[in-house]
Chain A
Amino acid sequence: MTAEVQAALEFRAVGKRYGAVEAVRDVSLTIAPRQFVALVGASGSGKSTLLKTINRLAEADSGDVVYEGDPVGSLPLPPLRRRVGYVFQSIGLFPHMTVGENIAIGPRLAGEKLSPARIAELLELVELDAGMATRMPDALSGGQRQRVGVARALAGDPHLLLMDEPFGALDPVTRDALGGRVRKLHDELGLTTIMVTHDMAEALLLADRVLVMDAGAILADETPQGLLEGRGGAVAQELVAVPRAQADRLAELAR
C-alpha cells in the first residue's frame, strides 16, 4: 500500500450512545473508493446506527466520520444528504408523489429539475418501465417500490450509496434479483456502497468486504473469501456457519 488513494470514507474513533446503551463504540476504519462493503450483525448490534452516522441521520457523539476528505460534522446537513444516496429499509416513498416525482426529489431540493428522459433512464437502471413514472407508489408491488427507492438514491449522481437492510421486506426471488441488479449498478457507476444486512449469505454473495458487528464494535473485517476460509473469529464464523450448513444440506438433498 504505497501512494494511498484518498479514502472514500473514514471512521475515526466513532462512538454513539442512546441513553445507557452504547450503540457504537470506538469504531475506526477506512473504506476505499468503489468498495462494496456489507455491514453484518444481529439486531441491536449497532450496524444501522453506524451507517446513519455517515449522513447524520444519527449524530456521532464522539469521533469523526470523514467523507471524501470532509468531516461530515462540518458539512451543512441538506447538501451532505443530497450527496449521499440512501436506500431505506422502510422504502419511504412519498405516497402523495408520483414515481417520477419521488425519483426527482433530491435534485428538486437542490433547485434542479430532472428531465423526463433522465427519469426514464433511472427507471431503466433499476429495470422498470419508463411508463411507471406517472404511477403512484401505492399502485406498485413491494419489489417495484424498492427499485424506485434505489433509483431515487441514484438520482443525484452520488459517489456513495448507503443501504439500510434494503431487501429485508422483499420476497426471496425479488430479493435475489434486486441484489444482483444493485451489485451491477455499483460496478457500472463506480459507486462506493455500504449495505447493512443481517443476512450473511447476501453479504457473502454481493460484497467485496464484510464487516461483522456485535455490541457496537467491529469484530471482523474480512473478504468473503477470507470468511469462507475460516478467518474472522468465532462470532463471524457462527454467522457464516448458517448459510454454509444450509448449502450443504441442499447439496445433499440434490444428490
Chain B
Amino acid sequence: MSDIWGALLKLGDQLAAHVLLSAAAIALGIAVALPLAVWASRSPAVSRAALGFASLVQTIPALALLALFFPILLSLRAVFGEGLPTLGFLPALLALSLYALLPILRNAITAQANLDPGVIEAADGVGMTFWQRLRLVEAPLSAPYIMAGIRTAAVWTIGAATLATTIGQKSLGDPIFAGLQTQNWVLVLAGCIASAGLALIADGLLGTIEKGLKTRRRALTFGGLAAVALGVGAALFAQFGGSEERRIVIGAKGFSEQYILARLIGQHLEESGYAVDYRDGLGSAVAHRAVTTGAIDVLVDYTGTIWTNQMGREDNPPRNAMLEEIAAWETDTSGTHVLGRLGFENAYGLAMRGERAAALGIESIADLADAAGGMTVGGDPEFFERPEWIAVRDTYGVRFAERRNFSPTFMYNALQSGEADVIGAYTSDGRIAADGLTILEDPQGAFPNYDAIVLLSPETGSNAAIRAAIAPLIGAIDVEAMREANLSVDREEDKLTFEEAARRLADRIGL
C-alpha cells in the first residue's frame, strides 16, 4: 500500500496535465455541441446529421482516434504551416473533444425536443425574440439535462485522456503505460486510482451543479462551478505557474530499454543543469516524427528501424555505411542531428525457448521453414507490420500457422507459457539470458543492423552545449550493461524503477 501511496504522490505533474487536457477537451466539446444543438432543434436534418456523426465518432476506438489526428494534422500543415503541432496537446485535445461531443449533443437535443410546446408557444406569444427565447426559456429549462450530458462526457473524457500518453501528451496514462510495460502493477494501479479518483470528483462536482440547476438552488450551482474553476485553476498554476525555463523533452518508445535510456539521458542533463521532461510510450513512427519536428528534443532510435521503416530501404549494407547514410538522410530531410551510437545493438531476432529449439533441432531461421506450419509466432503490436518481418518471412519462406500480438513484456510470458512458439525478441533484452532463450541465427542477413543511436531535433542538435552534455554517453553502453539494466526492471521480483535502473546503469558505465 505504501508503494502505491508513494507512486500516487509522484503523479502531481501528470495529474495537472490530465486535468487541463480533460477540461479543455470538455470545454471545446461544449462550445461545439451547444450551438449545434440549437441549430439541430430548428432543423431535423441537422439533428440527424449531427447525431449520426457524433455516434460514428464513438464507434472509433479512442486509441485509434487519437492516433488518427497525427496524419490529419500533418496534412493540415499544408494550410497552417510547419508550426502546427502534430503530437502532444493539440491532437489529444481534438480527439477527446470529438469524443465528448456525443453525450453533450444528445442530451441537449433531447432536452430541446422535450420542452413543453405550450411553454415555447407562450414564449413566442409574449413577444420574445429568438435569442430571448433561447436565453430566458430554452436554456434554463434544458440546463439540467445538458449538465447530465456534460457529466457523462467528463467521465468518458477523463478515462480516455489516459490514452493521450501514446501520442506524446503527458497524462495519468504515463504511469499506466510505463507500468504495463514492465508489469509494475504498483505504477498501473497508481495511474488507475488517480484517473478514476479524478473522474469521481469531476462527476460529483458536475452532479452538484446539475442538482443546483434542477432544483434552482443557486448556491449549489455556483458552489459546484467555483470548485471546478478552482481545480482547473490549480492545475493551470501547477503547469504554468512555475519558472519559465525551457525544458529539454526526452522521448521514449513503449518498452523498458527506452524508458531507462530516457532517464539516463535526463539525469545526465539534469546534472549538467538542464531541466528535463519526458514523453513516454510513443509508437515507433510517432517517436521518429516527433524528434524530426521538434515535438521532442532527444530520442534513442535504432539504425535498422530508421533504415527500413522511415527510409524504406530493402538492402542491408555494413553498419558503418548504414549509419553514415542515415545521418546524411536525416540532415537532408529534416535537419535532425544524429549524435552517434550508444554502443550496443538491440536487434530484432526470432527467439525460442532453448530446450524446445534444441529438441526440435532448430538453430537458424532457415530451420524453421519446415516446422513453422504447426507453430504460433508472437510479436509486439507493430512487429508484423514492419518491413523487417516481411523481409525475414520472404527470405526464408517461413509460414507460421498463427501469429499473435503481445505487448513486449507479455510476449516473453507467452513464450514461457507456450502460447507462442517463436517470438520477435529484442537482442538487448535481459530476459533472453534470464529465461534461457535461443536467438535463431539469421544466415541470410534478413534483419538489418540495429545500433542504438541518439537523435537530436533540428533545433536542439544545433545547440553545442546540449550536444556536449550528452556526448559522454556516446559509445559508453555495451550490450551486457544494457541487458542487466533491462532485466532489473523487467524481472518478476525485486523490480527497480526506471530512475533507479538508469542510475545503476550510469554507475556501471562510470558516468
**Neighbouring B residues of A89 by C-beta, 8 Å:** 118
The 10 closest A-B pairs by CB, nearest first: A92-B122, A90-B118, A81-B127, A82-B127, A78-B127, A92-B118, A86-B125, A96-B140, A106-B126, A78-B129
B127–A94 touching, CB < 8 Å: no
A152 at the interface (CB under 8 A from B): yes
B125–A57 touching, CB < 8 Å: yes
**Neighbouring A residues of B129 by C-beta, 8 Å:** 77-78, 109
From A77, A94, A152, residue with most partner B Cβ within 10 Å: A94
Interface string of A42-86 (1 = CB under 8 A from B): 000000000000010100000000000000000001111110001
Contact of A57 among B119, B124, B128, B141 (CB under 8 A): B124
Per DSSP, are chain B's interface residues mostly helix, strand or loop, or mixed?
helix
B398 at the interface (CB under 8 A from A): no
**Neighbouring B residues of A93 by C-beta, 8 Å:** 119, 122
The range of chain B's interface size is 10 to 19
Interface positions, chain A 84-103, Cβ under 8 Å from B, are 86, 88-96
A81–B125 touching, CB < 8 Å: yes
Smallest CB gap from A152: residue in B: B126
Smallest CB gap from B128: residue in A: A109
The answer for the CA separation of A81 and B136 in the assembled complex, in Å, is 17
A195 at the interface (CB under 8 A from B): no
B128–A94 touching, CB < 8 Å: no
B216 at the interface (CB under 8 A from A): yes
B123 at the interface (CB under 8 A from A): yes
The answer for the CA separation of A94 and B133 in the assembled complex, in Å, is 11
Can you list 17 A-B contacts (CB < 8 A)? A78-B127, A78-B132, A79-B127, A86-B125, A90-B117, A90-B118, A91-B118, A92-B122, A93-B119, A94-B122, A94-B136, A94-B137, A95-B116, A105-B126, A106-B127, A109-B126, A109-B127
B492 at the interface (CB under 8 A from A): no
B271 at the interface (CB under 8 A from A): no
Known: A78-B129, A96-B140, A106-B127. 15 other contacts (CB 8 A): A57-B124, A79-B127, A80-B127, A81-B124, A82-B126, A88-B125, A90-B116, A90-B118, A91-B122, A92-B125, A94-B119, A96-B137, A106-B126, A109-B132, A110-B127
**Neighbouring A residues of B137 by C-beta, 8 Å:** 94, 96
Interface string of A132-174 (1 = CB under 8 A from B): 0000000000000000000010000000000000000000000
B141–A92 touching, CB < 8 Å: no
Interface positions, chain B 473-500, Cβ under 8 Å from A, are none
B121 at the interface (CB under 8 A from A): yes
**Neighbouring B residues of A152 by C-beta, 8 Å:** 126
Contact of B121 among A77, A78, A92 (CB under 8 A): A92
B191 smallest CB distance to A (angstroms): 42
**Neighbouring B residues of A109 by C-beta, 8 Å:** 126-129, 132
From B117, B122, B137, residue with most partner A Cβ within 10 Å: B122
Interface string of B347-375 (1 = CB under 8 A from A): 00000000000000000000000000000
A57–B121 touching, CB < 8 Å: yes
The answer for the CA separation of A80 and B132 in the assembled complex, in Å, is 16
Smallest CB gap from B141: residue in A: A96
**Neighbouring A residues of B127 by C-beta, 8 Å:** 77-82, 106, 109-110
The answer for the CA separation of A105 and B129 in the assembled complex, in Å, is 13
B58 smallest CB distance to A (angstroms): 32
Interface positions, chain B 109-165, Cβ under 8 Å from A, are 116-119, 121-129, 132, 136-137, 140-141
B440 smallest CB distance to A (angstroms): 74
**Neighbouring B residues of A95 by C-beta, 8 Å:** 116, 119, 141
A114 smallest CB distance to B (angstroms): 13
The range of chain A's interface size is 20 to 34
A158 smallest CB distance to B (angstroms): 11
**Neighbouring A residues of B125 by C-beta, 8 Å:** 55, 57, 81, 86, 88, 92
**Neighbouring B residues of A94 by C-beta, 8 Å:** 119, 122-123, 136-137
**Neighbouring A residues of B141 by C-beta, 8 Å:** 95-96
**Neighbouring B residues of A105 by C-beta, 8 Å:** 126, 136
A86–B126 touching, CB < 8 Å: yes
**Neighbouring B residues of A82 by C-beta, 8 Å:** 126-127
A245 smallest CB distance to B (angstroms): 34
Residues A90 and B132 in contact in the complex (CB < 8 Å), given A96-B216, A106-B126? no
**Neighbouring A residues of B140 by C-beta, 8 Å:** 96
The answer for the CA separation of A109 and B128 in the assembled complex, in Å, is 7
Smallest CB gap from A82: residue in B: B127
**Neighbouring B residues of A106 by C-beta, 8 Å:** 126-127
Smallest CB gap from B139: residue in A: A96
B235 smallest CB distance to A (angstroms): 33
Smallest CB gap from A86: residue in B: B125
Smallest CB gap from B140: residue in A: A96
The answer for the CA separation of A96 and B111 in the assembled complex, in Å, is 15
The answer for the CA separation of A90 and B140 in the assembled complex, in Å, is 20
The answer for the CA separation of A80 and B121 in the assembled complex, in Å, is 15
The answer for the CA separation of A91 and B117 in the assembled complex, in Å, is 11
Smallest CB gap from B129: residue in A: A78
Smallest CB gap from B120: residue in A: A92
From B116, B122, B127, B132, residue with most partner A Cβ within 10 Å: B127
Interface string of A5-45 (1 = CB under 8 A from B): 00000000000000000000000000000000000000000
**Neighbouring A residues of B126 by C-beta, 8 Å:** 81-82, 86, 105-106, 109, 152
A148 smallest CB distance to B (angstroms): 12
B121–A88 touching, CB < 8 Å: yes
The answer for the CA separation of A105 and B127 in the assembled complex, in Å, is 9
Residues A92 and B119 in contact in the complex (CB < 8 Å), given A55-B125, A81-B127, A105-B126? yes
The answer for the CA separation of A96 and B135 in the assembled complex, in Å, is 12
B28 smallest CB distance to A (angstroms): 28
**Neighbouring A residues of B119 by C-beta, 8 Å:** 90, 92-95
Interface positions, chain B 156-177, Cβ under 8 Å from A, are none
The answer for the CA separation of A105 and B118 in the assembled complex, in Å, is 16
The answer for the CA separation of A111 and B127 in the assembled complex, in Å, is 12
The answer for the CA separation of A177 and B409 in the assembled complex, in Å, is 83
**Neighbouring B residues of A81 by C-beta, 8 Å:** 124-127
The answer for the CA separation of A89 and B119 in the assembled complex, in Å, is 11
Interface positions, chain B 205-224, Cβ under 8 Å from A, are 216
Smallest CB gap from A105: residue in B: B126
Interface string of A102-118 (1 = CB under 8 A from B): 00011001100000000
The answer for the CA separation of A94 and B132 in the assembled complex, in Å, is 13
A26 smallest CB distance to B (angstroms): 26
B353 smallest CB distance to A (angstroms): 71
The answer for the CA separation of A55 and B128 in the assembled complex, in Å, is 12
The answer for the CA separation of A89 and B121 in the assembled complex, in Å, is 10
A78–B128 touching, CB < 8 Å: yes
**Neighbouring B residues of A91 by C-beta, 8 Å:** 118, 122
The answer for the CA separation of A77 and B118 in the assembled complex, in Å, is 19
Smallest CB gap from B117: residue in A: A90
